[in-house]
Amino acid sequence: MRIGILGGTFDPPHIGHLELARAAIDALKLDEVLFLPAHRNPLKRAKSSPAKQRLEMVQRMVADEPKMAVSDIETSRGGPSYMVETLMELQMVKPGDYWVLLGADAMKTFDEWKTRRRSSS
């Protein structure tokens, strides 16, 4: 499966998120776009709405979109959300060809993203 990953705070989710997902489905021939609301974005200083509330808002936003789904993998894990860790977990539970979709706000801080999983020792 070809799966687009759209992570973020989604506080609030908006039409721009939907349009990015729709465009990616068409342009990349994706089977699905999976929205991943972050529990806590480690690069944002501003306080956000509770993770459960943001998760529910995204679920409502994509409810009528057949090629879109929402995962609670980051909100249920707790702590800071790192895409590299999420992708490793997703690949174990739902193997696929993943495409990370980024908006302009995420691109501004991309060079600050965590690049590898910490060792467990």
pTM value is 0.87
Is the model's pLDDT at 116 over the cut of 60?
no
Q: State the Cα angle at 51 between 46 and 56, rounded to 5°.
A: 130
User: 3-class DSSP state for residue 8?
Assistant: strand
The alpha carbon torsion through 63, 67, 71, 74 (nearest 10 deg) reads -120
Strand partners, 115: none
pLDDT confidence of residue 23: 98
Rg (CA), the chain: 14
Spatial CB neighbours of 69, under 8 Å, sequence gap ≥ 6: 32, 33, 34, 35, 62
pLDDT given at position 12 = 95
* pLDDT reading at 113 higher than 70: no
On whether the CB atoms of residues 30 and 21 are closer than 8 A, the answer is no
DSSP tag of 117: P
pLDDT tens, residue by residue, 39-85: 987 767 778 899 999 999 999 999 999 999 999 999 999 888 888 88
| Token pair for 61 | 């936003």
The domain defined by 2-109 folds into Rossmann fold (3.40.50)
